[in-house]
């Protein structure tokens, strides 16, 4: 995808079956443009080890779950994705992972407004994001908002299983399916209520998304050389979130 002629509207009004094969490339190209923009450069000075994950999730969940593209999103749409879908579906490897979410999305919407002249609700979206920033950690970590897959991942983490690997997920699922929940010291009744539904397609997809997120977060903790705090604009290594 040619970033020099990127069309922000290219997936507007297009059938999902036609968008699905190009969605990752669309996200990567847009994140690359953001990273090398003035807004992205400023953001990366204070957040040098994180970029792109939350933008990709906004695009992905907005489109795949609500049928909305960036140019179609209103403040209420962004609020739905951030306050309902993210808390329900995205698990965190570490509590500080959430610190990057809202700052990244604020910088991104500032970029969209300048670069693509997106004006529909952009100011309202930015006002909303600034307002929610200080309390967002409590929202995304509120267990009453968790979906089935996120509850499963979180409980596995709390029980000491490595939920970033297929082996860890399988090991914890084996414990659940064997009804050995009495040996676990957390949310026993809630976990028992989930046991009959451990294999739906949506559950498997959410598990895969969460595992990928945690894998990426773990890798970023091990290396910080991708971005520098020098005077030159940083270059983003292309990767799929």
Alpha-carbon gap, residue 52 to 36, rounded angstroms: 12
Reported as a single tens digit per residue, the pLDDT across 119-128 is 789 999 999 9
User: Which residues are within 8 A (CB) of 89 and not within 5 positions of it... i.e. 6 or more apart?
Assistant: 61, 147, 149, 150, 206, 209, 210
Reported as a single tens digit per residue, the pLDDT across 162-187 is 888 889 888 988 887 776 554 443 44
Per-residue tokens: 199:
């294999």
Q: Is the pLDDT of residue 70 over 90?
A: yes
Query: Measured on CA atoms in the order 29, 66, 73, 144, is the torsion positive or negative?
Result: negative
Per-residue tokens: 169:
């997920």
Reported as a single tens digit per residue, the pLDDT across 85-101 is 999 999 887 777 899 99
pTM: 0.74
Q: Are 124 and 175 in contact (CB under 8 A)?
A: no
Reported as a single tens digit per residue, the pLDDT across 129-165 is 999 999 999 999 998 999 888 888 888 888 888 888 8
Closest CA to 129 of 72, 90, 67, 86: 86
Reported as a single tens digit per residue, the pLDDT across 204-224 is 555 555 555 555 545 544 443
User: Which residues are within 8 A (CB) of 90 and not within 5 positions of it... i.e. 6 or more apart?
Assistant: 57, 140, 150, 209, 210, 213
Percent of the chain whose predicted confidence (pLDDT) is above 90: 50
Q: Report pLDDT for 153.
A: 86
């Amino acid at each position: 995808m040619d970033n020099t002629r990127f069309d922000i509207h290219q997936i507007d009004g297009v059938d999902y079956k036609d968008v699905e094969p190009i969605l990752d490339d669309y996200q990567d190209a847009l994140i690359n443009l953001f990273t090398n923009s003035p807004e992205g450069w400023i953001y990366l000075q204070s957040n040098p080890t994180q970029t792109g994950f939350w933008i990709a999730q906004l695009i992905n969940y907005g489109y795949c779950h609500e049928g909305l593209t960036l140019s179609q999103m209103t403040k209420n749409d962004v609020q739905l994705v951030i306050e309902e879908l993210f808390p329900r579906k995205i698990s965190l490897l570490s509590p500080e992972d959430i610190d990057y979410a809202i700052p990244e999305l604020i910088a991104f919407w500032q970029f969209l407004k300048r670069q693509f002249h997106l004006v529909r609700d952009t100011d309202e979206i930015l006002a909303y994001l600034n307002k929610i920033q200080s309390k967002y950690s409590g929202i995304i970590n509120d267990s009453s908002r968790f979906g089935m897959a996120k509850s499963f991942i979180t409980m596995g983490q709390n029980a000491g299983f490595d939920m970033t690997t297929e082996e860890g997920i399988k090991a914890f699922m084996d414990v659940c399916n064997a009804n050995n929940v009495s040996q676990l010291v957390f949310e026993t009744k809630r976990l028992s209520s989930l046991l009959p539904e451990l294999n739906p397609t949506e559950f498997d997809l959410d598990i895969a998304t969460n595992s990928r997120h945690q894998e990426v977060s773990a890798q970023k903790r091990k290396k910080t050389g991708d971005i520098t705090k020098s005077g030159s604009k940083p270059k983003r290594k292309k990767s799929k979130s």
